[in-house]
A and B are shown apart, each in its own frame.
Chain A
Amino acid sequence: SAVISQKPSRDICQRGTSLTIQCQVDSQVTMMFWYRQQPGQSLTLIATANQGSEATYESGFVIDKFPISRPNLTFSTLTVSNMSPEDSSIYLCSVALKARVATEAFFGQGTRLTVV
């Protein structure tokens, strides 16, 4: 398993500003994932972050809006840039570990972002 510390847990931000979310894992992992989630709904993958290379973004998400850093195998940041109210959501970081027969995901506690 993995223990993931994510911060901040919540924030209220002014439109036009940026917020950087940090994610620390208690073990070295190759890939880290960033998701967005509306309360009570499923997870939408924003991007996959590999150490030492640029993140891979899913359709509808771009690097200029959601720049990601991955400086080492235990840490990553996601920045939500030039925020608008539509960016209000829960943001989750995750790692996927290969167990004996399957890949299992572990999540941070999430960052609840409100843009006003």
Chain B
Amino acid sequence: TQLLEQSPQFLSIQEGENLTVYCNSSSVFSSLQWYRQEPGEGPVLLVTVVTGGEVKKLKRLTFQFGDARKDSSLHITAAQPGDTGLYLCAGEVGNGNKLVFGAGTILRVKS
């Protein structure tokens, strides 16, 4: 079973602070994605990383895929209340269209 460990489970910070969420596995993934889910909605895809060492930026969000494609991180700079939500990482299993999801990180940004 391929597991994705995500940390921290919960993060409560003040507006303007920086934070990093980690996603780790002992398995290699062909790609890894990050999703954000707000209450009452389904998860929404933020980014996909596929190459070891890849770094992608989405405004104040920076995503990194580990060199060995076993881990990833999400860094948010100057967090805003609108960043509040559940962040999920997901790894693609083989080529069978299946994704394995991490346990999730609940982020609350207080104004």
Contact = CB atoms under 8 A, between A and B. Distances in A.
Contact of A106 (B45, B90, B97): B45
Nearest to A40: B106
Interface stretch (A13-21, A62-70, A75-83, A108-116): A108-116
B53 to A, nearest CB: 15
Contacts of A9: 40
Contact of B101 (A30, A42, A48): A42
B102 A42 contact: yes
Contacts of A53: none
23 contacts: A4-B42, A40-B86, A41-B103, A41-B104, A42-B104, A43-B101, A48-B98, A96-B97, A96-B98, A96-B99, A99-B48, A102-B31, A102-B50, A103-B98, A103-B99, A104-B48, A105-B33, A105-B90, A105-B99, A107-B43, A108-B42, A109-B40, A110-B40
B14 to A, nearest CB: 21
Contacts of A110: 40-42
Interface residues of B, number: 27
Contact of A92 (B42, B95, B99, B103): B42
Interface residues of A, number: 27
Nearest to A1: B45
A40 B35 CA distance: 13
B37 to A, nearest CB: 8
Interface of B: 6, 30-31, 33, 35, 39-45, 48, 50, 86, 88, 90, 92, 95, 97-99, 101-104, 106
Interface string A36-70: 00011111000010000000000000000000000
Nearest to B32: A102
Given A101-B50, A105-B33, A43 B41 contact: no
A103 B31 contact: yes
Nearest to A102: B31
Nearest to B94: A103
A92 B104 CA distance: 16
B42 A102 contact: no
A-B pairs with lowest CB-CB distance, top 4: A107-B42, A102-B31, A96-B97, A42-B104
